[in-house]
Amino acid sequence: MMANSRYRHRRKQFLNRVKRRPVKTIAILPSLVTTLNGVCGFGAIVFAAGGTPIGRFDNHMVIACYLVFIGMIADMMDGHLARLSQSTSSFGGQLDSLCDIVSFGVAPAFIMLNLITGLLAETTLVSQHLILRGLWLCALVFVCCTAIRLARFNVENEKTHSEDHSTFTGLPSPAAAGLVCSLTLVYELYEKTGPTAIIPIILPLVTLGAGVLMVTRIKYPHIPNYYLKGKKPISYLIKLLLPIWALIVYTEISLALFACGFALSGLFRAAFEKMRRKTPVPAEPTPSLLPDSAAN
């Protein structure tokens, strides 16, 4: 009898958890900004394909990359708007993840795939079919890792109920997308000689590596909360002027350098922490139990 009562109680608890709760109201302004992120991702895919509803553009790949960066700005703003208006909700979090998978998962992978396949079409390599399979694999891994990264973040964030992050576990998906798109911008806008000429060779590997970094447990700092939040000395403000100046004057190169540096910083920090844990701590000499006079 007690077993049946316990079973009914657990069954009732389970049904209460899975019971559908209709969403009756949503926060309009944060949801609009989040939707703008998804719209930018879809527009980036359309432009990367070479066609738009209003015609064709010679620099369609550049526009696609810039749309991804506009989506990043919208992704940063929607959470702040929701917290300022005190309208954070599970609906907003799920909508944000769905838009992120489009803007920071599918769009960068498609940009890389379309750029390299277009360059391959101009060559006469014998092993083009093998290279194309590798490109598809790199793009597929990137998209799947983005989805896994976002799902893991939602679950862990729901468990901890944390809204103010100082670190991320794994490379954030906007940073991974920025890495791919910034290198594409440098290749499209600058002369294809010297270091720029190797970008099509390393871009698929960079895409694959960025996808793997997203699902690792490597810690990455939340840049606004880690570096900009709270009070800082005046010298700290002066130090920020140099990267801001570089970002304004040399936008594309600065974006590529910042994205590469941010992605590598987590690897270097993780390697340093691992080496420091393995380094044995020298044992302190044991003090003598006898007084100095007795020892002499």
Q: Which residue has the higher pLDDT, 95 or 161?
A: 95
- Give the pLDDT band (50/70/90) at residue 208: very high
pLDDT, one tens digit per residue, over 107-153 is: 999 999 999 998 888 877 778 888 889 999 999 999 999 999 999 88
Q: What is the pLDDT of residue 4?
A: 60
pTM of this prediction exceeds 0.85: no
Q: Which segment of 15-19, 182-186, 257-261 scores lowest on mean pLDDT?
A: 15-19
Q: What is the pLDDT of residue 282?
A: 62
Q: What integer is the mean pLDDT of 165-176? A: 86
pLDDT, one tens digit per residue, over 65-110 is: 999 999 999 988 887 787 777 777 777 788 888 999 999 999 999 9
Q: What integer is the mean pLDDT of 250-254? A: 88
> Which domains are assigned to the chain?
27-277 (1.20.120)
Instruction: Mark 199-236 as b/e (b = at least 16 C-beta within 10 Å).
Output: bbeebbebbbbbbebbbbebebbeeeeeeeeeeeeeee
In the predicted structure, residue 13 carries a pLDDT above the cut 60:
no
In the predicted structure, residue 295 carries a pLDDT above the cut 50:
no
Rounded Cα distance, 270 and 146, in Å: 21
In the predicted structure, residue 290 carries a pLDDT above the cut 60:
no
Q: What is the pLDDT of residue 18?
A: 45
In the predicted structure, residue 161 carries a pLDDT above the cut 60:
no
Q: What is the pLDDT of residue 73?
A: 92
